[in-house]
Chains A and B, each alone.
Chain A
Amino acid sequence: MRKDEAAPAEDEVAQALARLPELADADLVRRGRFLTVACLFGTPSAPLHVTIEAGQVVEVLRGPVLMRSWRFAYRATPEAWAAFWEPVPRPGFHDLLALTKRGAATLEGDLQPFIANLQYFKDLLALPRGSFGKPVGRAA
Chain B
Amino acid sequence: MTPDFEPITGRYLRCEIAGVPHRVYVEEAGSGIPLLCLHTAGSDGRQWRHLLNDEEVTRHFRVIAFDMPYHGKSNPPETWQGEEYRLTTKSYTDTIRAVSGALGLDRPVVMGCSIGGRIVLNLAIDHAAEFRALVGLEAADFQQPWYDTTWLHRPDVHGGEACAALVSGLIAPGGPDAARRETLWHYMQGGPGIFKGDLYFYRVDGDLRPRIGAIDTAICPLFLLTGEYDFSCSPDDTIRTAQSIAGAEVTVMERLGHFPMSENPAQFRSYILPVLEKIRHLEGETR
Query: Could you tell me which A residues sit within 8 Å of B by CB distance?
Result: 88-89, 91-92, 94-98, 100-102, 111-112, 115-116, 118-119, 122
Contacts and interface: CB of A to CB of B under 8 A. Distances in A.
Interface of B: 144, 146-147, 151, 156-158, 161-162, 164-166, 168-170, 172-174, 228-229, 231, 234
Given A92-B231, A116-B158, A122-B165, A97 B147 contact: yes
A93 to B, nearest CB: 9
A116 B166 CA distance: 10
A115 B228 CA distance: 25
Contact of A118 (B165, B172, B173): B165
A116 B162 CA distance: 6
Q: What secondary structure prevails in chain A residues at the interface with B?
A: helix
A91 B157 CA distance: 28
A100 B169 contact: no
A115 B158 CA distance: 9
Contact of B169 (A112, A116, A122): A122
Given A115-B157, A119-B164, A119-B165, A94 B147 contact: no
B144 A101 contact: yes
A98 B169 contact: yes
Q: What secondary structure prevails in chain B residues at the interface with A?
A: loop
Q: Tell which of B147, B161, B170, B173 has the most Cβ of chain A within 10 Å.
A: B173
Contacts of B172: 91, 94
16 contacts: A88-B174, A89-B173, A92-B234, A94-B173, A94-B229, A95-B168, A95-B170, A97-B146, A97-B147, A97-B166, A97-B169, A97-B231, A101-B144, A115-B162, A118-B162, A122-B165
Smallest CB-CB A-B distances: 6 pairs: A95-B169, A118-B165, A119-B165, A101-B146, A98-B231, A116-B157
B271 to A, nearest CB: 16
A140 B151 CA distance: 43
A88 B146 CA distance: 23
A100 B166 CA distance: 13
Given A98-B169, A101-B146, A122-B168, A116 B156 contact: yes
A84 B97 CA distance: 43
Q: Tell which of A91, A100, A119, A122 has the most Cβ of chain B within 10 Å.
A: A91
Given A94-B173, A101-B231, A116-B156, 19 more contacts: A88-B174, A91-B228, A91-B231, A92-B231, A94-B172, A95-B168, A97-B147, A97-B166, A97-B231, A98-B169, A100-B146, A111-B151, A115-B151, A116-B157, A118-B161, A118-B162, A118-B165, A122-B168, A122-B169
A112 B165 CA distance: 14
Contacts of A96: 169
A101 B234 CA distance: 11
Contact of A112 (B144, B156, B164): B156
Contacts of A88: 173-174
A41 B125 CA distance: 46
Contacts of B229: 91, 94
A13 to B, nearest CB: 20
A1 B102 CA distance: 54
A113 B27 CA distance: 39
A112 B148 CA distance: 12
A68 B20 CA distance: 57
